[in-house]
Amino acid sequence: MPDQLFYRAVGPFSLRVLAEFPDIRLADGIDPEIMISDVKPLDQAGHGDLTFLSNPKYEGEFLKTRATACIAIEKVLDKIPEGVAILIAKDPYKAYARIANKFYPPVLGNGNIHPTAIVASSANLGENVSIGPYVVIEDDVVIGENTIIGAHSVFRRGVRVGTDCRIGAGVLLSYCFIGDNVSIYNGAKIGQDGFGFAPDPVKHVKIPQLGRVIIGSNVEIGANTTIDKGSGPDTVIGDNSWIDNMVQIAHNVTIGKGCIIAAQTGISGSTVVEDFVMVGGQAGLAGHIRIGTGAQISAKSGVISDVPAGMTYAGYPAQPRRQYFRQIAILSKLAQNKGSVK
C-alpha cells in the first residue's frame, strides 16, 4: 500500500482514461466516468481505488475486495463482486503496471543544484538537471535534461549520460556512455578496471583496461551492481535490459536487448549474452561463452559452455533443465535404494 509519507499519487483519472492503455478495455455496462484516485492491493483497496487479479489463488480476496475497480481477465465476469467495475486485460499484471505508473510517474529533475556539489566548468548540463549534496562532476561530462543525481555520486571525466535518467546516491560512473531513461540505483559502480592480468610467479602483470562501458536506453541497473569497462573492446549493455542488485559484469561482456539478470549473478569476461535472455539469481557464467537468444538460466546454475538459443539450462555444470532434473531423480532413487536403480 503506498504510504503518503513517501509516495504521492497524481490524478484522479476516469476509467475512460485508464482504459486507453494498450490491451485494456472496460467490461460491458461499466460507467467510463467513474473516477479512480489510487492503486492498491486486493485486500487493502477501498472506495476510489483500483486493484488487479492476476493469480487465481487470490480469487478469495477478489470476491471480498472493496475496490471501486479491478483489472482482471474476461473469465471473472461471471463472479464479479457487487459494486466493482471491471477492466478486462489479457495480462492484468502488465496492465496494472502501466496504470500504476500513471498514478506514480517517475520524478524528473527540477534544475536544483545543491551548494555542496562540485561541477566542473567544462561540464555540460541539460535543462532541469538536479544534483544532490556532495556530488562531483568532472571535466567534459555531458548530462541530458531532466536527469536526477543522488547525493555523493561521482561522474569521472568525459562520461556521457542521456535524458530522463535517475542516478542514485553513491554511484560512481567512469569511462561510460549511458543512454536515455536509465535508472542506476544506489552504490552501483560503472566503468571500473576489469580483472585482467598475466600471471607471473614474481609479480602478476596488469593488462591495461582501455575500453569503455556502453549502456543503451531504458535500462535498469540495481543497487551495488558493478560493471567493468572493457580491456580493449567495450563492455555493452543493450536497450531495455534490466539488471538486479549486486550483479557483477566483467570486462568485454556483451549483453543484448531485453535481457533480465537477477541478483548476485556473475558474468565472466568476454561472454556474450544475446537478446531476451533471462538469468536467475546467483547464477555464474564462465568467460568466453555465448548464451543464445531467448535462453533461460535457472537460479544458482554454473554455466561453463555455450547455451543454444531458446534453451533452458539448470544445475552445475549447467545442462538442459529436463536432463538435469532427470539426473537428480535417478540420484534420489539410488540414495533411497542403496545404490540400486530397481
What residues are annotated to the active site? 251
Give the residue from 225, 260, 267 showing the smallest Cα distance to 240.
260
Give the residue from 181, 190, 113, 129 showing the smallest Cα distance to 155.
190
Give the residue from 85, 77, 87, 81 showing the smallest Cα distance to 61.
81
Peptide bond into 81 cis (omega under 30): no
State the sign of the Cα–Cα–Cα–Cα dihedral 39, 45, 51, 53.
Answer: positive
> From CA 22, how far away is CA 34, in angstroms rounded?
19
Written as one letter, the residue type at 106 is P
236-245 core/surface letters (b: 16 or more CB in 10 A; e: else): bbbbbbbbbb
Are 287 and 273 within 8 A, CB to CB? no
Angstrom CA distances, 295 to 55, 146, 242, 278, 298, stand at 25, 36, 15, 7, 10
Q: Which three cell numbers stand for residue 223?
A: 543497487
Return the C-alpha torsion angle 209, 211, 216, 222, nearest 10. Answer: 10
Other Cβ atoms within 10 Å of 73 Cβ, number: 15
Are 39 and 21 within 8 A, CB to CB? no
Please state the φ and ψ torsions of residue 154, each to the nearest 5 degrees: -130, 130
Our measurement of the distance from residue 1's CA atom to the centroid of its chain's CA atoms, rounded to an integer in Å, reads 21
